[in-house]
Amino acid sequence: MDSELIYGNVPKEWALCFNEQCPRAGECLRHIVYTLAPETECCHSCVLPQAWRNGTCSEFTQACKQQLAWGMSHLFTGIPSWQATAIRHDVIALFGSRSTFYRFYRGEFLITPQRQQEIAAIFANHGITTPRRYDRVVEDYFFNSRGFGTYHSNNTKRTKARIKATRN
């Protein structure tokens, strides 16, 4: 399911940028979402001017959809068990613990584009270069470049609704 960019889908904790003079404002997701804010909206997290230094913005986020994935039950399909065991060990280490790995494995948490690349690198280190299959993949805007992402946070009704909508 692809979604269009809607202000109501953006988490309140995700900072917006209102710097109209920024040369990259037209391609920055933070600024574009700011322009979509309704006139009734009075409060939202924002990027402070200190983010702009030496001609670059430390908070710039390219306004493009990314591949977001859930679930890894097919990740090891077609790989000999002796090799899959070694790869699984490395992927578990990537996630930090066996319990965290299995939460991602079951599709409870979003697998970010960066994490997908890290998983692909582990497979490549073991000589497997064929693309891996995830249980569910969508193209959508990703509102967090630092960690799990907004789809991971199960603490808001809006986030739970987005997770449910992408699973249908």
Global pTM reads 0.69
The pLDDT of residue 118 is above 80? yes
The pLDDT of residue 153 is above 80? no
Mean pLDDT, range 136-161, rounded to an integer? 60
Classify the C-alpha dihedral 99-104-109-111 as positive or negative.
Answer: positive
The pLDDT of residue 98 is above 80? yes
Mean pLDDT across the chain, nearest whole number? Answer: 85
The pLDDT of residue 119 is above 90? yes
Q: What is the pLDDT of residues 30-80, one digit of tens each?
A: 999 999 999 998 888 899 989 988 888 999 988 989 899 999 999 999 999
Tokens 């986020």 belong to 61
Higher pLDDT, 166 or 129: 129
Q: Is 125 exposed, middle or buried (0-12, 13-18, 19+ CB in 10 A)?
A: exposed
Which long-range contacts link 80-86 to residues 24+ away (Cβ below 8 Å)?
83/126, 83/128, 86/126
